[in-house]
Amino acid sequence: MKSLIIYESKFGNTAKLAEKIAETLGSQAVKADKFEEAMLEGVELLIVGSPVWAWNIAAPVKKILKIVEAKSLQGVKGGAFDTGFANKLAGNACKKIDKKLRKAGLDIVLEPMHFIVDSDKGPLKEREIERAINWVRNIH
């Protein structure tokens, strides 16, 4: 299955998860500023990851989701994750990304997943990398 992971990351924590997920799936992780629309060609599984910024999806990811929504990705499998604080009041991005992917016609095969950082710069809470690997391990 050809997969693509698109992510934003200011301090490297979301990048770390995206790279691990890509490695687990034998696919490629692309940071938002390196993304090109042509990369979506033939993709069968699209995973989008974002840090939570001000209770929302990071702006560079929002921009890509607009491109994704404008394409016909009916039947492409999809999933969303984010990184942010443990406190639920700090909001999430994964459920918002999930909603946009559904709107774009993707077939969501992963529960939107929130991975926890201890502060703005990280680090990721212990065992979040393992949790990310397990999150994608059983996709088919």
Cis peptide before 123 (omega within 30 of 0): yes
**81/136 Cα distance (integer angstroms):** 11
Tokens 């995206």 locate to 18
CB 21 within 8 A of CB 14: no
Between residues 50 and 104, which has the closer beta carbon with respect to ligand FMN?
50
| Assigned token pair, 67 | 């491109």
CB 84 within 8 A of CB 92: yes
Q: Which residue is nearest to ligand FMN (CB)?
A: 84
Note whether 107 binds ligand FMN by CB under 6 A: no
| Assigned token pair, 110 | 């992963």
Binding mask 55-84 for ligand FMN (x = CB under 6 A): x---------------------------xx
Q: Which of 5, 43, 51, 104 binds ligand FMN (CB under 6 A)?
A: 51
Between residues 76 and 132, which has the closer beta carbon with respect to ligand FMN?
132
Q: Which of 117, 128, 132, 135 binds ligand FMN (CB under 6 A)?
A: 117
Q: Which residues bind ligand FMN (CB under 6 A)?
A: 9-15, 51-55, 83-85, 90-91, 117, 120, 122
